Amino acid sequence: GAVVSQHPSRVICKSGTSVKIECRSLDFQATTMFWYRQFPKQSLMLMATSNEGSKATYEQGVEKDKFLINHASLTLSTLTVTSAHPEDSSFYICSATGLATDTQYFGPGTRLTVL
Amino acid sequence: RKEVEQDPGPFNVPEGATVAFNCTYSNSASQSFFWYRQDCRKEPKLLMSVYSSGNEDGRFTAQLNRASQYISLLIRDSKLSDSATYLCVVNMGKFSGGYNKLIFGAGTRLAVHP
């Protein structure tokens, strides 16, 4: 149980385009979803947290207009990287928690490369 | 100062060796502590929680010293399959949104060779 999926697993795009990443909880209702970013040889950094039906809470230094987060249902959250630039190239990982547990279950990650 | 600090390694050890990783955290209000394992280009996976009394799971032993704000992980009888990056993770407790915030260390890389 407690499986989280992400799609796509890998995406390559041109600079200036927008990319949408989906995070789904497959077998539980995710009341809270988290979006992290990890640059090579660095730690996971929390970008934002979203509760179903509410606006996301962004960490300091993360541009909310650039990283659009939607958590429209209890099983789906999306992260859209708008007007992507090469410096946005990174490993984006989501996680989710449900009503019954505080444990965060991680998705497999999405590797974004912006050319 | 980073909130969670780890020696980046790499630790290169032969099979069967015992290896120890250390981690320090800066916020004394931290609530709970974990070790995660992350394989190359994969998501982190929970290895074990860390308790003040010390806890063991097979070849893995974790220890927490709240007074020193120090966490350790000991791996005995290393296997090739233990090669990975080990992340020290601190739970900062409930935030206003009702969720627990995790702070990740940058990880310590372990390479076990034959």
Judging contacts by C-beta atoms under 8 Å, the chain B residues touching residue A45 are 104
**∠ CA B108-B109-B114 to the nearest 5 degrees?**
140
Residue with tokens 């962004």: A58
A76-81: strand order across its sheet: A4-7, A19-25, A76-81, A67-73
pLDDT digits (tens, 9 = 90+) for A58-111: 999 999 999 999 988 889 999 999 999 999 999 999 999 887 667 889 999 999
Q: With an 8 Å Cβ cutoff, are B42 and A45 in contact?
A: no
Task: Output the tens digit of pLDDT for each of chain B's 114 residues.
Answer: 788 999 888 999 999 999 999 999 998 888 889 999 999 989 999 999 998 888 999 999 999 999 999 999 999 999 999 999 999 999 887 766 667 789 999 999 999 999
Q: With an 8 Å Cβ cutoff, are A106 and B44 in contact?
A: yes
Residue A98 touches partner B, C-beta closer than 8 Å: no
pLDDT digits (tens, 9 = 90+) for A17-73: 999 999 999 988 888 899 999 998 888 999 999 888 888 999 999 999 999 999 888
Judging contacts by C-beta atoms under 8 Å, the chain B residues touching residue A10 are none
